Protein backbone atom coordinates (compact mmCIF):
# COMPACT_ATOMS: atom_id res chain seq x y z
CA UNK A 1 0.00 0.00 0.00
CA UNK A 2 1.15 3.53 -0.69
CA UNK A 3 -0.18 7.09 -0.55
CA UNK A 4 -1.27 8.61 -3.83
CA UNK A 5 -0.53 12.25 -4.70
CA UNK A 6 -3.81 13.49 -3.20
CA UNK A 7 -3.00 11.90 0.16
CA UNK A 8 0.52 13.37 0.12
CA UNK A 9 -0.92 16.84 -0.56
CA UNK A 10 -3.43 16.35 2.28
CA UNK A 11 -0.56 15.58 4.67
CA UNK A 12 1.42 18.56 3.40
CA UNK A 13 -1.59 20.85 3.83
CA UNK A 14 -2.17 19.52 7.35
CA UNK A 15 1.44 20.32 8.22
CA UNK A 16 1.27 23.82 6.74
CA UNK A 17 -2.02 24.51 8.52
CA UNK A 18 -0.66 23.34 11.87
CA UNK A 19 2.38 25.58 11.44
CA UNK A 20 0.25 28.61 10.53
CA UNK A 21 -2.15 28.01 13.42
CA UNK A 22 0.65 26.92 15.77
CA UNK A 23 -1.36 23.81 16.60
CA UNK A 24 -0.62 20.11 16.99
CA UNK A 25 -0.79 18.12 13.74
CA UNK A 26 -1.34 14.75 15.46
CA UNK A 27 -5.13 15.06 15.95
CA UNK A 28 -5.54 16.00 12.29
CA UNK A 29 -3.50 13.03 11.11
CA UNK A 30 -5.35 10.68 13.46
CA UNK A 31 -8.64 11.94 12.07
CA UNK A 32 -7.78 11.17 8.45
CA UNK A 33 -10.07 8.63 6.82
CA UNK A 34 -8.24 6.67 4.13
CA UNK A 35 -9.71 4.75 1.21
CA UNK A 36 -7.85 2.34 -1.00
CA UNK A 37 -7.97 2.98 -4.75
CA UNK A 38 -6.10 1.57 -7.73
CA UNK A 39 -3.73 4.57 -7.45
CA UNK A 40 -3.06 4.08 -3.73
CA UNK A 41 -4.55 5.43 -0.53
CA UNK A 42 -6.57 8.66 -0.67
CA UNK A 43 -7.71 10.89 2.19
CA UNK A 44 -11.49 11.17 2.24
CA UNK A 45 -11.51 14.16 4.60
CA UNK A 46 -8.52 16.39 3.76
CA UNK A 47 -8.01 19.54 5.83
CA UNK A 48 -9.46 22.83 4.67
CA UNK A 49 -7.33 25.94 4.74
CA UNK A 50 -9.28 29.15 5.24
CA UNK A 51 -7.63 32.48 4.50
CA UNK A 52 -8.96 35.75 5.88
CA UNK A 53 -8.34 38.20 3.07
CA UNK A 54 -9.01 41.15 5.39
CA UNK A 55 -6.07 40.09 7.57
CA UNK A 56 -3.88 39.78 4.46
CA UNK A 57 -4.76 43.28 3.30
CA UNK A 58 -4.14 44.75 6.76
CA UNK A 59 -0.64 43.26 6.81
CA UNK A 60 0.07 44.65 3.34
CA UNK A 61 -1.23 48.10 4.36
CA UNK A 62 1.03 48.14 7.43
CA UNK A 63 4.06 47.24 5.34
CA UNK A 64 4.12 50.76 3.90
CA UNK A 65 4.29 52.42 7.32
In tens, the pLDDT along 19-59 reads 989 999 999 999 999 999 999 999 999 998 777 777 655 55
In angstroms, the Cα distances linking 14 to 11, 43, 59 are: 5, 11, 24
CA distance 53 to 59: 10
- What are 43's strand-pairing partners? 34
- pTM recorded for the entire structure: 0.73
Residue among 40, 35, 34, 38 nearest 3 (CA): 40
**Quick one: how far is CA 63 from the chain centroid?**
27
Q: What is the pLDDT of residue 49?
A: 76
Which of residues 53 and 17 earns the better pLDDT score?
17
Pairing status of strand 34-37 against strand 40-43: antiparallel
Report, as an integer, the average pLDDT of 4-11. Answer: 97
Amino acid sequence: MHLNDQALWAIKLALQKSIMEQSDIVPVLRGFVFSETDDGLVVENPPILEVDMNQTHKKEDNADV
